[in-house]
Structure 1
């Protein structure tokens, strides 16, 4: 969910909404600090703080506050076991911020920032709960959310990994849908005029190129590269270009173990060393998922990409290839 876009929509449609945020979470809890719900009048909402009884209770509280015309922030604390009967056993503190139409311009501005990636804001909270004007802060280490000494600090948006996807066949189309809600900025490339569907998710940019491999020149350092074109020769060319660049965290090619052996032989014959080949993966996806249905392959690849993304962000390095199955070309 893009929080500020949902807030802006709610304010335009209803003139009011409630931003429900997990302010802190201790022990076992459904969601982490910074998880949010945007609640509209009538209990219509976007986002989640984990579902279950906690979420139901939060929505009821938020709806009551909206009906009462509440203003500013109010806080509630829940011991998940004793208070709600949830077996998680942790403790969660929630903030409920009522917003009126006077916040619409602010919401629209922040929605534009959120669409570009992660950003942080700070504001003062008075003793009466009134939230002052939010100001953007330059702090890469800002927490997801904190409220201390009357200062509210919040981070919105995601640090999205650039992913260059080559090929708009059945698996490519299914993968784009699987990646739509995940933290990736997707550049989807194909040489064929009629390859792409009419509509694509918001995190996807389409590029039709007569020379797909050349598009890697615009890819940022640290991007992931995923190759599943209609041509084995084109797959080899794009992968060779990506590996020689030496600046991508992952270069994956759809195919079988036989295809991997053939490609590795050609890479080595062309002078690529073992260090350059370290980021190469073929087959791709999770070896535990054996279905060859495009949607199943897409889920498998998406899960593998998430694991690799987390490994890189946590500083543990690149995850080694997980796929072991032989998959036919899409």
Structure 2
């Protein structure tokens, strides 16, 4: 995970001062991995560092910082009897108080800063070497001698959901709290899109959704689940005609057989048509909209984990 400046800005605009709590590193068994965060403000919080007693104590400490105006600190917490937990490991947490006055505005690839009162004035040489070695690759949070380095959230996966019906809505709500996804929901009428979708979801309406598809990023993952099979077919046709990432189509084996025949008649080769996955989801989970959405979300998370594992050169390192 990485430092999400946009998300932090949103919380500050809504609540004023916010304390961001980060799992900087873990040892042994821990409820969340390095990079997990939560934001705490007077009267509420969002995100999670693992729940239970650890999160409760961290929330109390964060609210003390809000009251006292403390800037930043870090602690290492054993997950043992003192918390009434038996995980057996330990976590290092970084607490930082952000407001409109100290919110960073010029971040590019990396956010490096002191998070301890006794940190040196300059970035430690060991941490600088790690940053230099990373070059353009992301790194997990790295805490060294009171200095913290985090990659900036940049490489999100665009998710375009065509159709805001039961499955489309369930998928959007599943993905909204998860890091690494930039979600867009498209339908033909505003009334078809739930008004209470999470704020980080982009909502678009277009009478001709297939024409809108050409504006999607080339690496977007597309999920076609409209109320109209003709629209579904047109979307498949348009998306096969442009550079695009994954194309998923909701439907039965019978629907897919008919679509393959029609797409062939529209001039697409068999190899091109096989770029479309249909049905989508995990059939073992059931046919309820939420079950289909869970299956899709699971597949996306597996892919996200593969990408993170292949690019993250420092995973949860700290000293």
TM-score greater than 0.5 by the shorter chain: yes
Secondary structure of 2:158 counterpart? strand
Aligned ranges for residues 96-115 of structure 1 at < 5 Å? 96-98=95-97, 103-107=99-103, 109=105
CA contact (8 A) 2:119 2:145 kept: no
Match of 1:78 in 2: 77
CA distance in 2, matches of 1:108, 1:123: 11
Aligned residues: 295
Match of 2:126 in 1: none
Q: Which one of the candidate residues 259, 272, 297 is aligned to 1:276?
A: 272
Match of 2:87 in 1: 88
CA contact (8 A) 1:6 1:46 kept: no
CA contact (8 A) 1:164 1:224 kept: yes
CA distance in 1, matches of 2:138, 2:190: 44
CA distance in 2, matches of 1:108, 1:9: 17
- Which of 1 and 2 has higher RCO (CA within 8 Å, sep 6+)? 2
1:237 matched to 2:234? The reply is: yes
Secondary structure of 1:230 counterpart? coil
Match of 1:256 in 2: 252
CA distance in 2, matches of 1:65, 1:206: 36
Aligned ranges for residues 186-265 of structure 1 at < 5 Å? 186-192=183-189, 194-245=191-242, 247-265=243-261
Deviation of 1:50 after TM superposition, in Å, equals 0.5
CA distance in 2, matches of 1:253, 1:291: 14
Secondary structure of 1:226 counterpart? strand
Aligned ranges for residues 296-307 of structure 1 at < 5 Å? 296-307=291-302
**CA distance 1:314–1:240, shift in 2 (3 Å):** farther
Deviation of 1:312 after TM superposition, in Å, equals 5.4
Deviation of 1:142 after TM superposition, in Å, equals 4.5
CA distance in 1, matches of 2:116, 2:89: 29
Deviation of 1:238 after TM superposition, in Å, equals 1.1
CA distance in 1, matches of 2:64, 2:26: 23
Deviation of 1:285 after TM superposition, in Å, equals 0.9
Superposed CA offset, 1:148-191 (max 9, x none):
24533234546421122222333323333333223432333333
CA contact (8 A) 2:38 2:47 kept: yes
Secondary structure of 1:49 counterpart? coil
**CA distance 1:108–1:76, shift in 2 (3 Å):** closer
Secondary structure of 2:241 counterpart? helix
CA distance in 2, matches of 1:201, 1:131: 41
1:25 matched to 2:46? The reply is: no
1:184 matched to 2:181? The reply is: yes
Superposed CA offset, 1:3-29 (max 9, x none):
34334544x3xxx55332212112321
Secondary structure of 2:100 counterpart? helix
**CA distance 1:48–1:119, shift in 2 (3 Å):** farther
Output the TM-score relative to the length of structure 2.
0.76
Uncovered stretches (5+) of structure 2, i.e. residues with no partner: 123-130, 312-319
CA contact (8 A) 1:251 1:280 kept: yes
